[in-house]
Amino acid sequence: AKTLGKNNFQFYSAELNQIVHEHLMLEASLSRAIREHEMVLDYQPKVDLRTGKVVGAEALVRWRHPVEGMIPPDRFIPVAEETGLIVPLGEWVIDEACGALKAMRALGMDDFVIAVNLSARQLRQRQFAERLGETLRRHGVDPRNLELEVTESQLMEQPEDALGVLGQLKALGVRLSIDDFGTGYSSLSHLQKFPVDYIKIDRSFLGNVGHDGHLVITRAIIALGHNLKLKVVAEGVETREQIAFLRKHNCDQMQGYYFSPALPQDVLQEMVARDQRL
Ligand code: C2E
Ligand code: CA
Ligand code: CA
Ligand code: CA
């Protein structure tokens, strides 16, 4: 601290001020945006690596701001989590995804799975599982068509509580996956207890296929998942080399820019209807 002069302090305080300002602006406009339907849900296809078929999609939220243009989730999800706005936002996301599932079912795409991202704060809501059950019934959506992704680090905030809610969600019949796996330091004993169906390998491990250190981890995660009878999904797949590697090591599913970015619902439906494959 004694190396910090007055100027440094001013620099930090100006920067802090700007961060606080942006935060307050975001908070105010975010709650309005949710009410006024500025949020958009896009869907990134998930591909079965054995058949090349699109078997599902991950719903990713975007904010179509009237002045600022498209704002990516990394800029507002953290604010939404801190302020609690993630709860109404998350409810909207689930509602919207259920609407998409209903539309796809009407097109005969009965086995299609849509995954939504959940924050730990949503899981901690009173009667989350019960309310989710009601939402599914209201839309006439089969629970097995909905998948919930929770990051490993959020699960590990309060692993015992998470375990309870995950059990209720599992009983409801939805699919569960641990997102960003490998970055959250869960112990193997926890992993074995969580009643999940999939683990998603964080994209940082696939980053550079020439880089052996990372690939050792990817292989180890695939083997670990399979030993625990889980399906393993790789995210952030961008190259043919990565696909070849994942196929060789029997990874189950992949998503990434190599195949497709997140798409509007109608474009996704067309892709599935055409049976476009990897
Ligand atoms: P995530 O759940 O890990 O989502 C994957 C992110 O990686 C997405 O960014 C996706 O567009 C991006 N991605 C996909 N393929 C590739 C690729 O090949 N290369 C690279 N470099 N990136 C790829 P996006 O859409 O900006 O979302 C960022 C994060 O925001 C998500 O990370 C998730 O944590 C959060 N998020 C998005 N939607 C929601 C939501 O509805 N609820 C909550 N709670 N969080 C959300
Ligand atoms: Ca995710
Ligand atoms: Ca992820
Ligand atoms: Ca992530």
How high is the ipTM of this complex?
0.96
Confidence class for position 212, pLDDT limits 50, 70, 90 = low
Residues lining ion ligand 3 (Cβ < 5 A) are 179-180
Question: Rounded to an integer, what is the distance from CA 153 to the centroid of its chain?
Answer: 13
Point out the ligand 1 atom lying closest to the alpha carbon of residue 116: 41
Assess contact for 234 and 256: CB atoms under 8 A.
Answer: yes
Interior/surface letters 124-151, b for 16+ CB within 10 angstroms, e for the rest: eeeebbeebbeebeebebebebbbbbbb
Average pLDDT of the chain? 91
Name the residue of 117, 151, 241, 263 to mutate for ligand 1: max ligand atoms within 8 A of Cβ: 117
Protein residue closest via CA to atom 17 of ligand 1: 236
Say how many Å lie between the CA of residue 8 and the centre of ligand 4: 33
Q: How far apart are CA 254 and CA 112, in angstroms?
A: 15
Mapped to the 3 state alphabet, what secondary structure does 28-47 carry? HHHHHHHHCCCEEEEEEEEE
Predicted TM-score of the model (pTM):
0.92
pLDDT in tens, 147-201: 999 999 999 999 999 999 999 999 999 999 999 998 887 778 888 899 999 999 9
Assess contact for 62 and 72: CB atoms under 8 A.
Answer: yes
Q: Which residue has the tokens 């949503």?
A: 122
pLDDT in tens, 236-259: 999 999 999 999 999 999 999 999
Say how many Å lie between the CA of residue 59 and the centre of ligand 4: 13
CA distances to 4, 87, 173, 204, 253 from 77, rounded to whole Å, are 33, 11, 27, 20, 26
Ligand 1 environment, Cβ below 6 A? 44, 60-61, 72-74, 77, 86, 90, 93, 116-117, 119, 179-180, 235-238, 256-257, 262
Point out the ligand 1 atom lying closest to the alpha carbon of residue 77: 45
Point out the ligand 1 atom lying closest to the alpha carbon of residue 118: 44
In the chain, the largest separation of any two C-alpha atoms, in whole Å, equals: 68
pLDDT in tens, 126-147: 999 999 999 999 999 999 999 9
